């Protein structure tokens, strides 16, 4: 097809992940190809090719008729200096589009179809519209288990893959993961110190909060740096057996990152996409053994035991075929874990458990020991059933605390850690009775309105939990915020529905 | 929530339908609200509000830190001059988002849900991602008939509605429509002259080609202006009883136009969306009586008689409840209608039929008379069964031709009509035999590659049709193009698969 030689110009417009090419309306390429704004074009320069969305420009100060303007993202992706010659042509439609259309029409896709789709997604050849269509067409249980397997495989192939075998010489590389949805559930920050103190390799990378008030990376960041260049991360793991870092720098499953950016605004969290997303990232990160936490409760992601079992079997089917040793634990998701919700409060809970303080939240301690125990039993030298006891000994002896301090120092201790938000509001119990319901979603919303996770010291501190007896007027929880407007919004929500049921 | 006063600046970037707001990275609004590129923002100025996608700018020459840049589309939608004060704030999520999420999860939606969704779509409050999600989640037969009814109602309410009752005083306002997919099917250009010559009011607006080689508006444009301001259109209908105009200027179903812009790249053409799209536009245009053409054939949109019947019943259910008199005709869609495919060739066929030329394509003539006859029978004074004969008399007497000439003059006759493309290639029959299959899709693709509809004189001229006996080497069809590259591409496709089967 026709292409046109133009001179590259960097246009100082940040369009985030969407690469935009700016062409002047009088540019030969626009006139000859009958380009319209929002058409997909292919930009070639010096052997590199990227696709971009076209914006047509009428202002010579932005681009002239012989220039090809590139948004910041497009300029960075192409990686070629200003003034270099470039060609622009209509983008070929992604090769996997017929497969996408078949999925939209409800057909089952083959292995090659899913690999082709994920290759195109990872190469940013799909438009937002096509990404959303894929995500919706594979929603719910619309993917069968082989489709999920092939999707997972394809996501692994499309990204970088880490290998720790030189460090473990055939031994396990362990990890844990929770499917999410339970505020305060910061077990990774206890499990990693315990199992690495036991001598296992656990290079744990975590996400930041997407829709929740805190992710493990946000909470660990209260104590230490979490954005570590990959080479430093490797060194830390060599030195300490583990890490508690943000996973965003590792480029492990770029296709998954792109799909999540579309799933999030649509509030989609389907079983197939969840399994492929979690397992692809774990396998790409080089894990060989994984303990997976599926919390079940009326306001958790999974609401019933049959639903949890169905999800468990899907995880097991895919993990087995990809030779990942998987141990699924279905846990109690009926209320938040620990007391704090929000980065600073959750870090406080974790440190209380590690230090063995008398007031430390026992539910966080118990759950972390159970998870760590199961991981320790991946160790071939540990007798079945002994894991929990070993984990408890490591915690009670102070070895887990020492290991956590070593991890914090290795990653870079925060010199002035963020403080708890000083603006507070205490929510009184509306009557007397026993706590018979706690709403995970409502409390998470409150913590976010209070400012978490952007404001690390914002959040909710629970003073009563399920089964506790409370008197009218007694404080159920305390809101913490840094800004008056945030406190106001969180308080308004709490006063509309406090998230607690008394009976 | 926080808003920030900025000065409006028009940025000469055409982003087509996607409104973009450009804010400098150092702008107070960006820093305070923690805006990221691609966030949705709400722009308020002088009592007007629009939503837009944010692009963050690092170049003072595009916008300074105290300016709010608007893309051409956003600037036009806001309709306020440069330098005026404006406020920008995070956009509230569309109110109908929970309903969209429920539809994605497979639930049935109520009337209020669908009205809320379409209100938000029409007001451009949905992102591309949300639009695509809606279109995919309502694909296939995923909408039940009441959902389709409510979707249709909502689309009518979201747009402008025309009323011709002053002109007909309770008489019918008639229209015809074909669901599409059959090349050359230009019956409207015969039906409108015939039924308006009979004295019926038929203010026909048509679309341009979206994925086909010609829409009625493209073909009529060979002869006359079709982009008419609404007031002129009304005057023409008063003077001549009808028109053959492009419908894009009337703003009849803005929500439908937006949804189509997403359905098209996904190749989605689902029954529910088709029914809502067609019926909403007809009712909004003030039609009271409609004849609908559903062609059935192996390469038509509808491939079997049961599928056609199912679609017919859905059309009837919705039309009845919205008090539109609907007469569905299931027709032969096994091959193109007429000889020409492409605007100039199709206009030639139409004029040959109107002039009663001996070589005029009889299939186009017969089908148009059948459709016109059914419309004429909407006239309370016409006896059931007499419509076809009346239509034929109008055509054979030359009254239809005179009426067409009047319509052309009223709309504005083209002084130098486009000519047939002079570059040609004749496709020889690969062997001898009877034509037993003609592929609508393949011939449409060829005509588009040859340049149609942008190049009005490009297309395919069929010299053999189903049932014809051809000898090896005899010409099956002639390709017409204006540019050598176009002819080359069309010819390559024809040589790969000529679209004809001989038996």
Report pLDDT digits (tens) over B201-256.
Answer: 999 998 888 778 999 999 999 999 999 988 899 999 999 999 999 987 667 788 98
Is A224 a residue whose pLDDT tops 70?
Answer: yes
As a whole number of angstroms, the distance between CA A139 and CA B104 comes to 8
- Closest partner residue to A104 (CB to CB) among B34, B97, B139 is B139
Whether residue A37 and residue B14 make contact (CB cut-off 8 A), yes or no, is yes
Whether residue B13 and residue A2 make contact (CB cut-off 8 A), yes or no, is no
Catalytic option among B146, B269, B386, B468: B269
Whether residue B135 and residue A137 make contact (CB cut-off 8 A), yes or no, is no
% of chain A at pLDDT higher than 90: 74
Find out whether B486 and B458 touch, Cβ atoms under 8 Å. yes
Determine which of A238-247, B33-42, B409-418 has the lowest per-residue pLDDT on average. Answer: B33-42
CA distances from B52 to B30, B74, B157, B427 (A): 14, 7, 24, 50
**Residue B329 phi, psi (nearest 5):** -115, 120
Find out whether B205 and B243 touch, Cβ atoms under 8 Å. yes
Nearest-neighbour CA in chain B from A378: distance (Å): 38
Determine which of A34-38, A298-302, B352-356 has the lowest per-residue pLDDT on average. Answer: A34-38
Give yes or no: B386 in active site. Answer: no
Predicted confidence at residue A31, as pLDDT, reads 67
pLDDT in tens, A131-175: 999 999 999 888 999 999 999 999 999 988 888 988 888 889 999
- Closest partner residue to A13 (CB to CB) among B57, B97, B139 is B57
pLDDT in tens, B385-423: 999 999 999 999 999 999 999 999 999 999 999 999 999
- Closest partner residue to A139 (CB to CB) among B16, B72, B104 is B104
Predicted confidence at residue B3, as pLDDT, reads 56
Tokens 């009557």 belong to A431
Predicted confidence at residue A134, as pLDDT, reads 96
**Residue A21 phi, psi (nearest 5):** -105, 130
Kindly report whether the peptide bond that precedes residue A276 is cis, defined as omega within 30 degrees of 0.
no
Predicted confidence at residue A33, as pLDDT, reads 61
Nearest-neighbour CA in chain B from A136: distance (Å): 6
Partners of residue A106 in chain B, C-beta under 8 Å: 140
> What mean pLDDT is reported for chain B?
92
Nearest-neighbour CA in chain A from B238: distance (Å): 36
Which of the two residues, B28 and A469, has the higher pLDDT score? A469
Reduce the DSSP state of residue A451 to 3 states and report it.
coil
Partners of residue B58 in chain A, C-beta under 8 Å: 12-14, 72
Nearest-neighbour CA in chain A from B425: distance (Å): 20
Residue in A with minimal Cα distance to B455: A34
**Residue B191 phi, psi (nearest 5):** -65, -45
Whether residue A62 and residue B13 make contact (CB cut-off 8 A), yes or no, is yes
Predicted confidence at residue A170, as pLDDT, reads 82
Partners of residue B100 in chain A, C-beta under 8 Å: 266
Partners of residue B18 in chain A, C-beta under 8 Å: 38
As a whole number of angstroms, the distance between CA A305 and CA A327 comes to 17
Partners of residue A25 in chain B, C-beta under 8 Å: 14
Find out whether B342 and B447 touch, Cβ atoms under 8 Å. yes
Whether residue B38 and residue A61 make contact (CB cut-off 8 A), yes or no, is no
Predicted confidence at residue A89, as pLDDT, reads 83
Partners of residue A2 in chain B, C-beta under 8 Å: 485
Total CB pairs under 8 A between chain A and B:
129
Find out whether A35 and A41 touch, Cβ atoms under 8 Å. yes
What is the rounded average pLDDT of the residues A288-294?
98
Nearest-neighbour CA in chain A from B98: distance (Å): 9
Whether residue B140 and residue A105 make contact (CB cut-off 8 A), yes or no, is yes
Is A17 a residue whose pLDDT tops 90?
Answer: no
Confidence grade of residue A34 (pLDDT, cut at 50, 70, 90): low
Predicted confidence at residue B37, as pLDDT, reads 64
Whether residue B14 and residue A55 make contact (CB cut-off 8 A), yes or no, is yes
Determine which of A117-121, B97-101, B163-167, B190-194 has the lowest per-residue pLDDT on average. Answer: B163-167
Predicted confidence at residue B406, as pLDDT, reads 98
Kindly report whether the peptide bond that precedes residue A453 is cis, defined as omega within 30 degrees of 0.
yes
Reduce the DSSP state of residue B16 to 3 states and report it.
coil
Residue in B with minimal Cα distance to A137: B136
Q: At a CB cut-off of 8 Å and minimum separation 6, what does A405 contact?
A: none
Whether residue B57 and residue A14 make contact (CB cut-off 8 A), yes or no, is yes
Partners of residue A72 in chain B, C-beta under 8 Å: 58
Confidence grade of residue A37 (pLDDT, cut at 50, 70, 90): low
Is A1 a residue whose pLDDT tops 50?
Answer: no
As a whole number of angstroms, the distance between CA B354 and CA B364 comes to 11
- Tell me the whole-structure pTM to 2 decimals: 0.86
Question: Which residues, in sequence order, are bridge partners of residue B460?
Answer: B341, B479
What is the rounded average pLDDT of the residues A367-386?
96
- Mutating which of A102, A125, A132 best tests the B interface, going by the most B Cβ atoms within 10 A? A132
Predicted confidence at residue A445, as pLDDT, reads 93
Which of the two residues, B115 and A180, has the higher pLDDT score? B115
Nearest-neighbour CA in chain B from A5: distance (Å): 19
Determine which of A301-315, A444-458, B24-38, B478-492 has the lowest per-residue pLDDT on average. Answer: B24-38
- Closest partner residue to A36 (CB to CB) among B16, B22, B100 is B16
Whether residue B25 and residue A14 make contact (CB cut-off 8 A), yes or no, is yes
Q: Read off the DSSP letter of residue A186.
A: -
Is B144 a residue whose pLDDT tops 90?
Answer: yes
């Amino acid at each position: 097809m026709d292409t046109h030689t133009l001179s590259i110009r960097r246009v100082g417009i940040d369009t985030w992940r969407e690469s935009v090419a700016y062409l002047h309306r009088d540019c030969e390429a626009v006139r000859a190809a009958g380009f319209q704004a929002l058409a997909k074009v292919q930009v070639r320069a010096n052997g590199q090719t990227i696709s971009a969305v076209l914006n047509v420009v009428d202002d010579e100060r932005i681009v002239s008729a012989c220039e090809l303007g590139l948004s910041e993202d497009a300029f960075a992706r192409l990686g070629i200096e200003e003034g270099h010659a470039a060609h622009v042509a209509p983008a070929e439609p992604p090769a996997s589009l017929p497969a996408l259309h078949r999925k939209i029409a409800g057909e089952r896709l083959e292995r090659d179809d899913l690999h082709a789709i994920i290759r195109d997604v990872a190469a940013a050849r799909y438009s937002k519209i096509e990404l959303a269509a894929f995500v919706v067409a594979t929603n719910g249980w619309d993917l069968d288990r082989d489709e999920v397997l092939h999707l997972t495989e394809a996501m692994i192939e499309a990204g970088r893959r880490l290998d720790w075998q030189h460090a473990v010489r055939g031994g396990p590389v362990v990890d844990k993961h929770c499917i999410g949805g339970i505020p305060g559930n910061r077990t990774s920050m206890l499990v990693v110190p315990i199992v690495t103190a036991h001598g296992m390799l656990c290079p744990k990378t975590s996400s930041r909060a997407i829709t929740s008030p805190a992710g493990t990376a946000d909470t660990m960041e209260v104590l230490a740096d979490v954005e570590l260049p990959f080479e430093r991360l490797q060194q830390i793991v060599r030195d300490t057996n583990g890490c508690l870092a943000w996973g965003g720098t590792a480029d492990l499953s770029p296709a998954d990152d792109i799909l999540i950016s579309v799933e999030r605004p649509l509030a989609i969290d389907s079983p197939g996409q969840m399994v492929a997303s979690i397992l692809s990232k774990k396998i790409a990160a080089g894990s060989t053994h994984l303990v997976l936490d599926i919390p079940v409760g009326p306001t958790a992601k999974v609401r019933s035991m049959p639903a949890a079992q169905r999800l468990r079997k899907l995880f097991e089917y895919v993990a087995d075929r990809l030779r990942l040793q998987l141990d699924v634990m279905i846990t109690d998701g009926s209320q938040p874990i620990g007391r704090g919700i929000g980065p600073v409060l959750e870090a406080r809970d974790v440190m209380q458990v590690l230090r063995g303080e008398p007031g430390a939240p026992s539910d966080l301690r118990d759950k972390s020991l159970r998870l760590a125990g199961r991981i320790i039993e991946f160790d071939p030298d540990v007798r079945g059933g002994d894991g929990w006891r070993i984990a408890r000994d490591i915690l009670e002896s102070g070895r887990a605390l020492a290991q956590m301090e070593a991890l914090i120092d290795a990653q870079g201790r925060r010199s002035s850690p963020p403080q708890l938000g000083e603006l507070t509001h205490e929510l009184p119990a509306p009557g007397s009775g026993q706590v018979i319901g706690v709403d995970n979603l409502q409390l998470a919303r409150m913590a976010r309105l209070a400012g978490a996770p952007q404001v690390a010291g914002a959040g909710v501190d629970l003073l009563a939990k399920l089964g506790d007896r409370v008197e009218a007027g007694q404080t159920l929880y305390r809101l913490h915020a840094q800004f008056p407007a945030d406190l106001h919004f969180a308080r308004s929500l709490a006063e509309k529905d406090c998230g607690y049921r008394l009976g």
